[in-house]
């Protein structure tokens, strides 16, 4: 079994990196293969160029590799901060360039979208500096809808769990350690669920 971890934070010492690393460790411990994508570290270019708008576009090798990996991943772990209720631009562009029509989804004869990703589950970890109740009241927590309905469900991944950790900026080391434990347990539970399916 193999998982793709997609991480989008500019600071390699960020709590986002710690969450992704913890998730990766847990997957490796369970005997999974991990395709690790620290998008900032690999200098992922998030700009969908005009040439890639065409459905039969020839893709650069690094985009083709991303496409091949995400289509066949048994599970997906996404980690990013909440910036303006959305993922950072580098991950926004990963959606645009990698989750292409004909690769991540297609349309049926009746125009209904058909998801093409093989993943049995996805976990989306996000971080923010807004208290949960304020986030909901002021913005309605757009990331929940964006990831579950607009992106992952659309691509065929119906078993998605999201966990937002907040408030990062005022959190103490003990609190962050508990959050990492929670992340580890969430991955472990998803892995156990996958095993149960097989």
Residues forming contacts to a second copy in the complex (CB under 8 A) are 10-12, 40, 46-50, 53, 83-90, 92-93, 95-96, 99, 138-140, 142, 145-146, 149-151, 154
SS3 165: strand
Least distance (Å) between residue 198 CB and a second copy:
31
Joined together, the tokens standing for residue 109 give: 């004869």
Q: In this structure, are residues 8 and 80 in contact, taking their beta carbons and an 8 Å threshold?
A: yes
Least distance (Å) between residue 104 CB and a second copy:
10
161 or 167: CB nearest a second copy: 167
3-state helix, strand, coil in the chain (%, to 5): 45, 20, 35
Measured between its terminal Cα atoms, the distance across the chain in Å is 11
Least distance (Å) between residue 189 CB and a second copy:
28
Least distance (Å) between residue 40 CB and a second copy:
7
Q: What are phi and psi of 15, to 5 degrees?
A: -65, -30
Joined together, the tokens standing for residue 163 give: 């966990």
Residue 160, strand partner residues: 122
46 or 60: CB nearest a second copy: 46
47 or 196: CB nearest a second copy: 47
26 or 66: CB nearest a second copy: 66
**C-alpha span between 150 and 188 (Å, rounded):** 26
Least distance (Å) between residue 134 CB and a second copy:
8
51 or 181: CB nearest a second copy: 51
């Amino acid at each position: 079994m193999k998982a793709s971890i997609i991480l989008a934070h500019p600071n390699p010492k960020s709590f986002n990196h710690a969450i992704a690393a913890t998730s990766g460790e847990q997957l490796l411990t369970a005997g999974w293969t991990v395709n690790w994508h620290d998008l900032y570290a690999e200098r992922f270019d998030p700009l969908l160029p005009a040439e890639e708008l065409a459905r039969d576009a020839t893709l650069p090798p690094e985009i083709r590799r991303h496409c091949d990996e995400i289509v066949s991943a048994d599970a997906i772990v996404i980690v990013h901060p909440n910036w303006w209720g959305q993922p950072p631009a580098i991950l926004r562009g990963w959606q645009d360039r990698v989750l292409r029509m004909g690769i991540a989804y297609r349309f049926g004869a009746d125009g209904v979208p058909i998801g093409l990703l093989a993943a049995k589950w996805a976990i989306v970890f996000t971080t923010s500096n807004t208290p949960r109740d304020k986030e909901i009241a002021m913005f309605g927590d757009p990331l929940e809808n964006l990831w579950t309905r607009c992106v992952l469900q659309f691509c065929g991944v119906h078993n998605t769990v999201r966990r937002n950790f907040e408030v990062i900026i005022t959190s103490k080391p003990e609190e962050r350690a508990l959050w990492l434990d929670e992340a580890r347990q969430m991955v472990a539970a998803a892995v156990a669920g996958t095993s149960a399916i097989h």
